[in-house]
Structure 1
Amino acid sequence: MTGTDTLARPATARADGELPYPVRQFTPAHADLKNGAGVPASLASEHYVEALARVVYVWGHPLVNTVGRTSTWELMEGHGPGMAMGLFPGCPKNWMGYVDDYLPAQQRKVVTPNNDTIYGACFADLGEEPVVIQTPQDVPEGHYWTIQIVDAFTTVTHQLGSASRTPAGKFLWVGPEWHGETPQGFVEVLRSPTNIGVAMARSFASRTPEGKARARAVLNQMGALPLSADKPGRHQFDCEASARNKVYPEGLNAAILAADPDLLRNRPVHGETFWDDLERALDANPLVGPDDAPMAAQARTLIDLRKADQRWKALLDRAALTADAELYEGARYDQVGVDAGNGWQRQENGGAWKTDWYGRALAAVIYIYVNDYHEAIYFIRGTDAKGELLQGRYRYTMRFEKDQLPPVDRTTGGFWSLTMYDRDYFMTPSSPNARHNIGTVNLDADELKFGEDGSLTLVLSRDEPEDAEGKANWLPAPDDQFALLLRTYVPTEPLLNGSYKLPEVKRSG
């Protein structure tokens, strides 16, 4: 994006303190006409404001969600990159923090993490200064890596990585008010339509010591740091040192979290505080891209209206509470997305949301910061072939016919992975066979058993199968309701155009 893709800040209150015209117009000129003649105009205003408020909540949910996650800046300040709360990548502002292994299955903070890559994460304030993004130089042939960059609304603005054959080097990530040319020594300037942005690094890791060492070696060449901290030449990062640097807020430690992981189950967006949180988020991002600018203006009008009168405040607060409850209750794997064949669903525009504010909000609830769909397609489901909710006490099978495994581009590191989640979209804390997902990594390790006809049948259940093939192909399920997410990284054309269909999930016992 270029600097011309953002719109100017809207007008605020006049110098004499009078509210802006868009706010004042919601009060009818003669609402007190006798015989109730002014009531229809008042009701029209109220109904319009209420409807608009519900849409603004959906539009603004991902923004509030992202800005709320920058609270780790304060936690990590003075500690350097590390693991916030000992669980996930944390960083001071404009730096990247890392883990050095899969995210722990026991954690109850980050929903739907993958169990295929090792992560790095940078939450940036590009309004403060640009950020240097470094891509890896020494990457084994066929190894998957990516640095996904999103704006404050979770829309993917840049997707660097093996799939796009991004060259090694430094990129300058800048905000909407930065002006200049590509500095010497940088490959390119990456423009963000918002001040707040997120860069997520991923490096594929098999489950062997050698595979994880390879993933770390690539991840250690990938990173982000403030421009003021840059120096000539390449930087060497250290994901293992970052993982050892576990930082906890006062009153919390590893032992307390181990005893009660649910302490961190705190929703990132709350209807009760939405309007105040949205105002802070917009203040941090006074400029937004063209797909969000019209709604940002509407949001600011409602924020001013809420301050103008207690009656409007009550109406807007109620609208936010209602929209909040409905979004969280409706954003379920058995509901989100459209039919992708054989009972699976997908969001066809994942990561490339444009003005699909509703789809973007749904994604922010169930799997925030999904990659651009050209990079990875996410297939989800919460029901079996008969439309019944998936339950761990039953046995289900997925049968891939010969040569019908998900078609990903292995030459650029592509892989597929079926991950098991509980009803709240976390991994089960423990697994009897140490599996939380199944896919390419198991194929590469020669762990799966194919039928005599070349088919592959996966078994999904709480109870371990008794037969040898079932044991080899078993993905353990929790006792209760569960959900499935099948990731296809570097999808090929049959996945992109929808002609490839995943097999059904059939209850067999």
Structure 2
Amino acid sequence: MNSKTDQIAHGCDDVVIQTLPLFEMMRMRAATTARRHPTLGFAAADPKSNARWVNQFTHTHRRLGPEDKEVVSPNNDTVYSNAWLDLSEGPVVIETPDMGDRYWTLGLLDAWTNPFAYVGRRTTGNRPQRTLVHGPGWHGVVPADITLTVAAPGNDVWVIGRHLVEDDGEDAARVRKSQSAMRLVRLDGADAAMRVDTWIDGRDAGIPTADLYLRIVSAALRRNPPLPGERLAWPPAAAGLAPSLTTVYERLRANNQPHDLGGGWAIPVMVKNNWGDDYLTRARIARNFIGALGIEEAMYPTAEVDARGVPLNGSQRYELRFAPGKGLKVDAFWSLTMYRRSDCLFVANAIDRYSIGDRTPGLHHDADGGLAIRLQAEDPGPGVNWLPAPKGESFYVVLRLYQPHADHLALTFDYPPIQPL
């Protein structure tokens, strides 16, 4: 390969790394928007059409379990509210009801995966709210009843909502009532729903062809230009794009690059509200953890090995113990979730427990105030905090820290290693 060809290939790799988040967000828009509106019907009569509804909430109403296989490493704490905003025809107002004392959040991500704004318990409280979100070209008058105005950097915004659920019965019903009161409207109160062509089959998560990638990114760029200070050489040289797509996509999947926390713990995502010029990490997260919110909202320390550095396996017994005064520090809540390594899904078990945390009924503290959690396949008996593991299979665990304290955010918290018994 001559030097000119090398330069083209290297340049195309850089452009793919820089623009991959934009492509993947458009793929997620196609995958997570609804074909059908509750009152306006289908966005298109043809089931094969890429037409979808935007400016419309869709919700989940139950916590996920082992029978749910669509999402890897799911959480067992919250249900979701999802919407894509299209701001090209003017602002959209997010109406949310009184949420009581419940933990909830709406994270707003721009088309480049920057989690640039939040509505919810941590940032705006739980009172009834009307949040106006507008694109870069709008300079209108903000009505007096708007509680928050958010200026989006582009015309496409992904709203990812989480609502804490205590059970799958009465509390889930209360959350469902709150979700049904959430609306997306125009300034005059009219339904903001719009039909759009999402351009792509969102079910295909493979490496895109060069033609498709060029078409989608070019269209998305017209609606969502790079942030100030980010220079982009677009379009890239056509000859180098196809091999670069294969190279970059495969490299991002293989290279995890987590932040080491010590004791066998690592955190895969570290962002507050903007990835800045760290384009490689931004691309890695878009490929592997798309939709991640900022660490001030939630952190996800993950452990795949025990205190000896040996991979966790359900043929062994383990204990994770937080010493007295050394517990996790959060303003909302924390949980520890078990996943089978082979498919990154929940582990079915006799007590239907997939996570354990500070809200788990009957959580037992030691006499000295410490907290021990047993990770194993067999029931350890009464009086033990047990998180069931898959029998004879490799597993990993994820700590979810909602509204973590400063020592977690600064990566100075001393996470105890998982000890084999």
TM range (shorter): 0.7 to 0.9
Q: Describe the SS at the equivalent of 2:84.
A: strand
Q: 1:326 to 1:72 in 2, by over 3 A?
A: closer
Q: Indicate whether 1:279 and 2:200 are aligned.
A: no
Aligned to 2:225: 288
What does the per-residue CA deviation read over 1:141-170, in whole Å, with 9 as the maximum and x for residues that have no partner? 3x2111111011221111111112345321
Q: 2:412 aligns with which of 499, 503, 508?
A: 499
The alpha-carbon deviation at position 191 of structure 1 amounts to 1.6
In structure 2, what is the Cα distance between the partners aligned to 1:100 and 1:283? Answer: 34
| Partner residue, 2:400 | 487
* Aligned pair partner of 1:466 in 369, 372, 380: 380
User: Which residue among 101, 105, 108 is the counterpart of 2:62?
Assistant: 101
Q: Please give the residue correspondences for 1:73-84 in structure 2 after superposition, counting only pairs within 5 Å.
A: 76-78=35-37
For residue 181 of structure 1, the aligned residue among 141, 147, 160 is: 141
* Match of residue 64, structure 1, among 1, 23, 33: 23
Quote the Cα distance in structure 1 between the aligned partners of 2:397 and 2:285: 15
Given that 1:77 and 1:92 are in contact with CA atoms closer than 8 Å, whether structure 2 keeps it comes out as yes
Q: Which AA in structure 2 matches 1:154?
A: T
State which of 332, 346, 351 in structure 2 corresponds to 1:428.
Answer: 346
Q: Under a length normalisation based on structure 2, what TM-score does the superposition of the two structures give?
A: 0.85
Q: Which amino acid aligns with 1:428?
A: F
Say whether the 8 Å CA contact 1:96–1:122 is kept in structure 2.
yes
For 2:288 and 2:351, how far apart are their aligned partners in 1?
26
Q: Which amino acid aligns with 2:159?
A: A
Q: What SS class does the counterpart of residue 483 from structure 1 fall into?
A: strand
Deviation, 1:208, is 6.0
**In the superposition, relative to structure 1, how do residues 407 and 172 fare at CA in structure 2: closer, same or farther (>3 Å)?**
same
Unaligned ranges ≥5, structure 2: 42-51, 193-200
d(CA) in 2 for partners of 1:75, 1:348 = 30
Cα shift readout 1:316-345 (whole Å, capped 9, x = no counterpart): 2112111111211223xxxx3222232211
Q: Per-residue deviation at 1:110?
A: 2.1
Return the offset for 1:267.
5.7
Q: Map 1:46-445 to 2 at 5 A.
A: 46-72=5-31, 76-78=35-37, 92-136=53-97, 138-141=98-101, 143-166=102-125, 168-207=128-167, 209-221=169-181, 223-227=182-186, 230-231=189-190, 268=205, 270-273=206-209, 276-286=212-222, 287-290=224-227, 293-294=230-231, 297-298=232-233, 300-302=234-236, 305-306=237-238, 312=239, 315-331=240-256, 336-346=257-267, 347-349=269-271, 352-409=274-331, 414-423=332-341, 426-428=344-346, 430-442=348-360, 445=361
Contact 1:81 1:92 in 2 (8 A): no
Instruction: Name the structure 1 match of 2:371.
Output: 456
**Matched AA of 1:466:** P
Q: Is the 8 A contact 2:54 2:84 kept in 1?
A: yes
Deviations 1:40-81 (A, max 9, x none): xx9333222212222332332322221112224775234569
Q: State the identity %.
A: 25
Distance (whole Å) between structure 2 residues aligned to residue 384 and residue 274 of structure 1: 43
Query: 1:455 & 1:62 partners in 2: Cα distance?
Result: 43
SS at match of 1:111: coil
- Contact 1:351 1:369 (C-alpha < 8 Å) held by counterparts: no
Would the aligned equivalents of 1:147 and 1:201 in 2 still touch at CA under 8 Å?
A: yes
Asked if 1 retains the 8 angstrom alpha-carbon contact of 2:114 and 2:273, the reply is: yes
Q: 1:161–1:417: structure 2 CA closer, same or farther, 3 Å change rule?
A: same
**Do the aligned partners of 1:148 and 1:371 also contact (CA within 8 Å) in 2?**
yes
TM-score (norm 1): 0.71
Larger radius of gyration: 1
Partner of 1:26: none
Q: Return structure 1 stretches of 4+ with deviation > 6 angstroms.
A: none
Quote how far apart the aligned CAs of 1:95 are: 0.6
- Distance in 2 between residues matched to 1:197 and 1:479, nearest whole Å: 43
Query: Which amino acid is 2:295 matched to?
Result: Y
Contact between 1:458 and 1:473, CA under 8 Å: does it hold in 2? yes
CA gap of 1:356–1:431, structure 2 versus 1, over 3 A, is: farther
Distance 1:380 1:276 in 2: 35
How far 1:423 sits from its partner (Å)?
A: 2.6
CA RMSD of aligned residues (A): 3.0
1 or 2, which has the higher strand percentage? 2
- Contact 1:464–1:474 at 8 Å: present in 2 too? no
> 1:118 offset after TM fit, Å?
1.4
Q: Which has the higher helix share?
A: 1
Q: Which ranges of structure 1 fall in alignment gaps of 5 or more residues? A: 1-41, 83-90, 236-263, 307-311
Residues 1:436 and 1:290: Cα distance change in structure 2 (over 3 Å): same
Tell me how far apart the structure 2 counterparts of residues 325 and 102 of structure 1 sit (CA, whole Å).
32
Distance 1:290 1:103 in 2: 36
Separation in structure 2 between the aligned mates of residue 381 and residue 417 of structure 1, nearest angstrom: 13
- Residues 81, 377 of structure 1: CA spacing in aligned structure 2 closer, same or farther, 3 A cutoff? farther
CA contact (8 A) 1:109 1:266 kept: no
Deviations 1:394-431 (A, max 9, x none): 2222111123221111xxxx011112223366422633
Deviations along 1:169-203, whole A, 9 cap, x unmatched?
Answer: 21121222223232343223312112221101111
What is the CA–CA distance in structure 2 between the aligned matches of 1:146 and 1:368, rounded to whole Å? 17
Amino acid at match of 1:503: P
Larger mean CA deviation between 203-212 and 72-81 belongs to 72-81
Q: Tell me the amino acid that sits aligned with residue 46 of structure 1.
A: T
